[in-house]
Structure 1
Amino acid sequence: MANQPATPGAVPGPEQPPAPLPKGVVLGKDGKPCRSCTSKSAFSAWASQMGHAKPAPSSRPFSSAATTSTPASEAPARKDCPADVETLGRSTWTLLHTIAATYPPKPTPVEQNNIRDFFRLFSKLYPCWVCAEDFQAYMKKEAIKTESRDAFGNWLCDAHNEVNRKLGKPIFDCSKWEERWRTGWKDGSCD
């Protein structure tokens, strides 16, 4: 069996080192690629490297491509796949900013405690463990401001901008957080 070529997905033996992971693939704590910590393109590159072929469009359940004769290489991307890190991040920020937008202007002590509890648990349960640990560290550095909607919304905007900085994304003007997430833009484009 010695000197056999590497088989995609095969467990490496003493003569077969593991294939390097494509750039951007994050391993989960179990040592396997973490879908919710990795971009779709990086995860797909890993799956291809491991020999996981994409099914032909006709074998895809719930796909509009199943009724067309489009070649597999040109098939539209599915919308019902597990979330990658970008999809999960966008959806999460939408939820969190919407929570901030509906947070009371003058919250009671119970409401303030509830939001602190939610964020403590959220940061422990978030599916991307790298992101979760990063957010926990941010909350240790910058305590959640719960005394008002404005304070909480600005704290969350600052937290989001901290992530944007690390990812090389544009920084949002936090003076406009309420217009973006609560009232809509002043020009009426959200009405």
Structure 2
Amino acid sequence: MAADSRETTSGVNGAEAQKLPPGMVLGKDGKPCRSCTSGAAFKSWSASMKSSAGGVSAAGFGAAATAKSPPATPNDCPADVETLGRSTWTLLHSIAATYPKDPSPTQQSDLRTFLGAFSRLYPCWVCADDFQTYMAKEQLAVGSRDEFGKWLCEAHNAVNTKLGKDTFDCNKWEERWRTGWKDGRCD
């Protein structure tokens, strides 16, 4: 299960059992998961680990988190959960935008297979489990471009709701991801 600031862990880089900073998620191996953790939380944890010889106090995490924000991560570093999420949604919505209006049975099967494998291979295990649960609850709709585009938009909105973000009007998914906005700003 994902760890948060209320849970403790031991054995991470030799540290004694410590509270994790807000936003820090452990991988299934018990080590900090870059793909599941915000860049800021990971940098805060990493800096705290580097600055202490044998461990980090919970107060150290608070101090690191409230100090100035860490500098932006260079583009050639492993993706954090936000970068991974934005890139993933871009890929998935782009697939929906280019999916056929009237897909063949083979194309429908390919999309189901892809999303099934994708939901098991996604680097953030918490996100992967969540997407698998969503797919089990909300039957994947692959009968047409519009059907899949709206299904994917609703899946994205479900994640945004969990994260406290605004949702998107799914009636506008094609304008956002396929044709561009009517005001011409994408032309």
Measured against the shorter chain, the TM-score band is 0.7 to 0.9
Match of 2:6 in 1: none
CA distance 1:171–1:50, change in 2 (3 Å): same
Deviation at 1:79, TM superposition (A): 1.9
Residue 104 of structure 1: how far off its partner (Å): 0.1
Structure 1 residues 120-150: Cα deviation after superposition (integer angstroms, max 9, x where no partner)? 0000000000000000000000011011000
Q: Which residue of 1 aligns with 2:82?
A: 86
8 Å CA contact retained: 2:25, 2:33? yes
Task: Return the alpha-carbon distance in structure 2 between the equivalents of residues 31 and 18 of structure 1.
Answer: 12
% identical equivalent positions: 64
Distance change in 2, residues 1:106/1:25 (3 Å) = same
Distance (whole Å) between structure 1 residues aligned to residue 150 and residue 177 of structure 2: 11
CA separation of 1:74/1:136 partners in 2, compared to 1, >3 Å: closer, same or farther?
closer
Distance 1:176 1:81 in 2: 34
Using the TM superposition, give the Cα deviation of residue 11 of structure 1 relative to its aligned residue in structure 2, in angstroms.
Answer: 2.5
Amino acid at match of 1:111: Q
* Worse-superposed segment, 44-53 or 104-113: 44-53
Is the alpha carbon distance of 1:128 and 1:52 closer, same or farther for their aligned partners in structure 2, counting shifts above 3 Å?
farther
Instruction: Classify 1:161/1:75 alpha carbon distance in 2 versus 1 (closer, same or farther; 3 Å).
Output: closer
Tell me whether 1:111 sits opposite 2:107 in the alignment: yes
TM-score (norm 1): 0.79
- After superposition, residues 1-191 of structure 1 pair within 5 angstroms as 11-12=14-15, 17-51=16-50, 77-191=73-187
Q: 1:120 to 1:22 in 2, by over 3 A?
A: same
CA distance in 2, matches of 1:76, 1:132: 26
Q: Structure 1 residue 48: deviation in Å?
A: 1.1
Question: Structure 1 residues 75, 127: CA separation in 2 closer, same or farther (over 3 Å shift)?
Answer: closer
What's the secondary structure of 1:51's corresponding residue? helix
Q: TM-score, normalised by structure 2?
A: 0.81
* Count of aligned positions: 160
1:19 is displaced (CA, Å) by: 2.4
- The higher radius of gyration belongs to 1
- After superposition, the C-alpha distances for 1:43-101 in whole angstroms (9 at most, x for unaligned) are 01110121179xxxxxxxxxxxxxxxxxxx99764221100000000000000000000
Distance 1:74 1:165, change over 3 A: closer
> Can you give the 5+ residue segments of structure 2 that lack an aligned partner in the other structure?
1-11, 53-68
Kept in 1, the 8 Å contact 2:140–2:151? The answer is yes
Kept in 1: contact 2:97–2:174 (CA 8 A): yes
| Secondary structure class of the residue paired with 1:82 | coil
Structure 1 equivalent of residue 55 of structure 2: none
Question: In structure 2, do the counterparts of structure 1 residues 46 and 170 end up closer, same or farther at CA, with 3 Å as the change threshold?
Answer: same
Verify the 8 A CA contact 2:39 2:73 in the aligned structure 1: no
